[in-house]
Amino acid sequence: MAHRRTDSARHLPSMPPSSPLPLPVIHDSSSRLSPSPSLSSLVDIIHPRKNRQRTTFLALFALIAVSVYIFLVAQPTLVTPIPLQHPNDDTATWRHVANSYVLKHRKAAGQAPNERPQVSLDTAQELAAITSFMAALPQNVIPSTVDPSLPIDPQLVLDFDTRSPRATAEVDEVVSDVWTRNPVVLFSKLHSPVSREIKQLIYDMKLRPSSTVFEVDQRADADVLMPLLFRLTSSDTLPILLVGGNQ
Each residue's pLDDT tens digit, 206-235: 999 999 999 999 999 999 999 999 999 999
Residue 63 pLDDT greater than 60, yes or no = yes
Q: How is residue 246 annotated by DSSP? A: B
Q: Which amino acid is at 21?
A: L
Residue 101 pLDDT greater than 60, yes or no = no
Distance CA(232)–CA(242), nearest Å, equals 12
pTM of the model: 0.55
Distance CA(39)–CA(93), nearest Å, equals 86
CATH class name, domain 123-243: alpha beta
Rg for the chain (alpha carbons), in Å?
57
Do residues 188 and 241 touch, judged by C-beta distance below 8 A?
no
